[in-house]
Amino acid sequence: MVISLIGYMGSGKSHISKILSKKIDFKLIDLDKEISRRNKLTIPEIFEKKGEIYFRKLEREALEEILASEENVVLSLGGGTPVYYNNMEIINHNSKSIFLRTGVGTLVERLSKQKEKRPLIANISDEDLPEFIAKHLFERNQFYSKAQFTVGTDSREPEDIVNEIIEKLYL
């Protein structure tokens, strides 16, 4: 089984995937880290040097390879992964998908502290960040909502979120 965690940047995919993979003794793969490792560049460097379209092609290739070849894996996906190509269909066909639903207020709080690490929001002012996130999240929700399971994350402890995921997957 492959468990794919999807959601907007800052929703906790990386953190939750670490806890979940340890608890169920599955391998952990972070798609962005895998792309960085394969290309010997950070995600911001890939965006800066090659552009987002190039990054999305790398992301698609890595996603397909992992879903075709891995078993007993928790796969943490980038916030944009489900939005491009027919990635969401591939994710749902080859894994159990979990949408970590997180509200705009929580996302703004988390992301305002991480802007320099996030290429899509690095140049957005703190004042404009809430509106950007709300608009972007609205656009992406049509893809995220196709996940097989949804777990709310606002005001919840990571362990509670992990337990709900395990319960939903009957693990």
Annotated binding site for Mg(2+): 14
The annotation places the binding site for ATP at: 10-15, 118, 156
CB 5 within 8 A of CB 98: yes
Residues at the binding site for substrate are: 32, 56, 79, 140
Q: Which residues are annotated as a binding site?
A: 10-15, 32, 56, 79, 118, 140, 156
